[in-house]
Chains A and B, each alone.
Chain A
Amino acid sequence: NAGVTQTPKFQVLKTGQSMTLQCAQDMNHEYMSWYRQDPGMGLRLIHYSVGAGITDQGEVPNGYNVSRSTTEDFPLRLLSAAPSQTSVYFCASSYSRHLLTDTQYFGPGTRLTVL
């Protein structure tokens, strides 16, 4: 299987533009999440989902929307991009929300620049 895939790998936006970062997994994982990684900041949780139709906010949700219509896909939407959203975005998934027993798998990331 392909694991966790993310598209695109790189993206440049202008301030105010909208776009969707795609994330898909083929492991039948219920739990999916989005993180952003900024230099010197580690990874910070944006949104997560414990199953189709269920989403919740993480540490830094402002400016981002998510939905989970299928088990496989968990897109992240930027409605009006801002330079502060320049970052590397990682999608992750695991079989369940119980991270003690279920390993979280990360995608390769999307590098986003907002001018």
Chain B
Amino acid sequence: AQSVTQPDIHITVSEGASLELRCNYSYGATPYLFWYVQSPGQGLQLLLKYFSGDTLVQGIKGFEAEFKRSQSSFNLRKPSVHWSDAAEYFCAVAAGNSGYSTLTFGKGTMLLVSP
């Protein structure tokens, strides 16, 4: 069965500093990977997704993620964090039959941004 591990429960970053959130996956076939963001009291919003092609994926809000098959990782990055980026971030892997109909989420990483 597929699984996703986000090793960091909380991360604190200074505003303007760079950010990297870690995600490791376990899946027998080619993984299809996603990053979502959840602002306080809100639902989840898709930041970016990877399913083939270039291993560096660009998303919304200035985020990017790099797929590394050799390390089973899909880390999320941002060069300069803004206070509005404070939220919880979830990595997910899609699995199933050819429809890829279900998502398995990691437990999330809470990002705190200090002034």
Contacts and interface: CB of A to CB of B under 8 A. Distances in A.
Interface string B32-51: 10100000011111100101
Interface in B28-73: 32, 34, 41-46, 49, 51
Interface residues of B, number: 24
Contacts, number: 64
Interface of B: 4, 9, 32, 34, 41-46, 49, 51, 90, 94, 99-108
A104 B94 CA distance: 12
Contacts of A104: 46, 103
Contacts of A103: 46
A98 B106 contact: no
Interface in A25-61: 31, 33, 35, 40-45, 48, 50, 58-59
A98 B32 CA distance: 11
A74 interface: no
B106 A42 contact: yes
A27 to B, nearest CB: 14
A100 B94 contact: yes
B99 A98 contact: yes
Contacts of B51: 100
A42 B42 contact: no
22 contacts: A40-B107, A42-B90, A42-B108, A48-B101, A50-B101, A59-B104, A90-B43, A92-B43, A92-B44, A97-B99, A97-B100, A98-B101, A99-B32, A99-B34, A99-B94, A99-B103, A100-B32, A100-B94, A100-B100, A106-B45, A108-B42, A109-B42
Contacts of A96: 99
Given A40-B9, A99-B32, A109 B102 contact: no
